[in-house]
Structure 1
Amino acid sequence: MNRVDDRIAIVTGAAGGIGTATCRLLAENGATVIATDLRDAPGDGLGAVIAASAGRVRYLRHDVTDDAQWGAVLEATLAAHGRLDVLVNNAGLFMHGRTEDADAASIDRLFDVNLKGVVLGTQHAFRAMKSRPRELPLASIVNLSSVAGLKGSQMASLYCLTKGGVRLFSKSCAIEAAHLGYRIRVNSIHPGIVDTDMAQGVADGMRANGVPPEQIHKMMAGAHPLARMATADDIGRGIVFLASDDAAFITGTELVVDGGMTAR
């Protein structure tokens, strides 16, 4: 038996590195996946996952900051599959730079995607998940935070604010769901630096602030005691664990997948 056999999952931000890996790993472990992203088409990476999934992964365009679009995604999911078992709130943005230099429009966009998108997704998931048959395993919501949600980081204060918010929101929702008898587990996952397009954005910001290009990869890898950046699969495997019955008694906590970064 696979770890998430017959689960129905929604993964946001699915066309990015972590999202694509998560969709693939969930499908390989028996789940049916609704992969959503803001892009009109899934792109090469996710497109290949969809093509190889034998129908287990389908794509929907979806803006996580739009409540009506969340409603449409849930309506389509419930119409096709009758229930929702797993939500992975993965969509997110990174912002690098001095706190004083961030403009209001960029702050609004960061907060909308990283915070509002997670709140809206969780609201819709609660409504759908709370009425699932009691004989089914507990539902699972996995919210993407970061090591930046656990400790401060210079030149990334606003990003840290959003990821710290995701951490405490997840804890509060876990307690609330348990108190209300919803049979929904809620946890956050906290990657270190992951070798994805978002990490490339961090590197671009470092270059813009005068860090020599030849030092950037060494600095990123060296931030982890294991001396490498995480792969998207490293994070995806953690998400599959939290979605599965292997984590049946885990709620309201953080899974830190950071190669030892926060142990220092």
Structure 2
Amino acid sequence: MSKELAVFGLEGKVAVVTGAGAGIGEACARLFAKAGAAVVLGDINVEACERIAAELNGQGLQAKAVRLDVTSEEDWAALKQTLVAWKNRWDVLLNNAGIYIGGMLENNTSAQVSKINQINIESVFLGTRAAVECMKPGACFANGGSIINLSSIAGLIGVPGHSIYGATKGAVRSLTKHSAVEFAKFGYGVRVNSLHPGLIETAMGDQALQDFVDIGVVANVDEAAALLKSAMIPMGRLGNVQDIANAALFLASDASSYVTGIELTVDGGFCAA
């Protein structure tokens, strides 16, 4: 058994973070850069990514902003060309970009289902395919890698007002496990894991709290947050973006080199209670 100390660092690695313009994606991109990675920040809001990349570069770190519509095969192809020209390497993909659509199932529309499926599921497929085509043996980079897919605890348990959102996140969990086994069995050297945040203090988290109000579970957002913290989250607080970034760094790093196909919950004990 090796006695080497596992290091949660990304020195020499190139990481791509989707939805990096705000929230969890931004926090992960910042932490990856501080951990030593050259980070590509991808988002449809390229101006936000450019601002963050400029700040990181100003700190002596390595970052590059690109416009990335995660539902566009053309944008994924362009990203691969950017990676070839910039560092000629790709080690980590964080499929973070996604949207939240809540509401009672009986009130959701087919248009909403189509939209959330495209952004939350199809984009993960496109990103995973693009990454493995570059990382597997005989590919343009052929150095293996780690793919991390952002799911949610709504992909593991039932939550009122989260039916179509939870369905997409459950699909992300399933896609993760199938691709992890496939890539391992064929010796690709590419690990795939899913990360399942609980309620996080972001704009999306605020929207989820408001949906609890809108469907009549609680009277107001403050009551929703208080109920979660007092009765549903054993650790007694909502999560923050750094909680998720720290977990993502573990999955991105070589410290998790024997970890693939898992679902890592970061929820303050919500799913365990």
Superposed pair shares fold, TM > 0.5: yes
Q: Where do residues 1-264 of structure 1 align in structure 2 (5 Å cutoff)?
A: 3-42=9-48, 46=52, 49-50=55-56, 52-131=58-137, 138-210=144-216, 211-222=219-230, 223-264=232-273
The SS at the match of 2:47 is coil
The SS at the match of 1:35 is strand
How far is the alpha carbon of 1:127 from its aligned partner? Answer: 0.3
CA distance in 2, matches of 1:117, 1:32: 22
Deviations 1:125-175 (A, max 9, x none): 010111379xx9741000001111111111111111111111111011011
How far is the alpha carbon of 1:219 from its aligned partner? Answer: 2.6
How far is the alpha carbon of 1:62 from its aligned partner? Answer: 0.9
Report the aligned-residue RMSD.
2.1
Is the CA contact 2:161–2:215 (under 8 Å) kept in the aligned structure 1? Answer: no
CA distance in 2, matches of 1:208, 1:52: 43
How far is the alpha carbon of 1:114 from its aligned partner? Answer: 0.5
The SS at the match of 1:34 is strand
- AA of the residue aligned to 2:224: I
- AA of the residue aligned to 1:216: A
Is the CA contact 1:12–1:35 (under 8 Å) kept in the aligned structure 2? Answer: yes
How far is the alpha carbon of 1:208 from its aligned partner? Answer: 2.7
The SS at the match of 2:134 is helix
How far is the alpha carbon of 1:49 from its aligned partner? Answer: 4.6
TM-score, normalised relative to structure 1: 0.93
Deviations 1:10-31 (A, max 9, x none): 0001012110110111011100
- AA of the residue aligned to 2:27: A
Closer/same/farther in 2, CA of residues 258 and 172 from structure 1, 3 Å limit? same
**Structure 1 residue ranges without an equivalent (≥5):** none
CA distance in 2, matches of 1:170, 1:238: 16
TM-score, normalised relative to structure 2: 0.90
Is the CA contact 1:93–1:113 (under 8 Å) kept in the aligned structure 2? Answer: yes
The SS at the match of 1:237 is helix
More moved, 227-236 vs 204-213: 204-213
- AA of the residue aligned to 1:219: L
Matched residues, number:
263
CA distance in 1, matches of 2:57, 2:38: 14
Is the CA contact 2:21–2:46 (under 8 Å) kept in the aligned structure 1? Answer: no
CA distance in 2, matches of 1:49, 1:164: 35
CA distance in 2, matches of 1:7, 1:44: 20
How far is the alpha carbon of 1:213 from its aligned partner? Answer: 3.3
CA distance in 2, matches of 1:248, 1:137: 13
Is the CA contact 2:50–2:64 (under 8 Å) kept in the aligned structure 1? Answer: no
Question: 2:4 corresponds to which residue?
Answer: none
| Identity in percent | 36
More moved, 150-159 vs 118-127: 150-159
CA distance in 2, matches of 1:48, 1:24: 11
Structure 1 stretches (4+) deviating beyond 6 angstroms? none
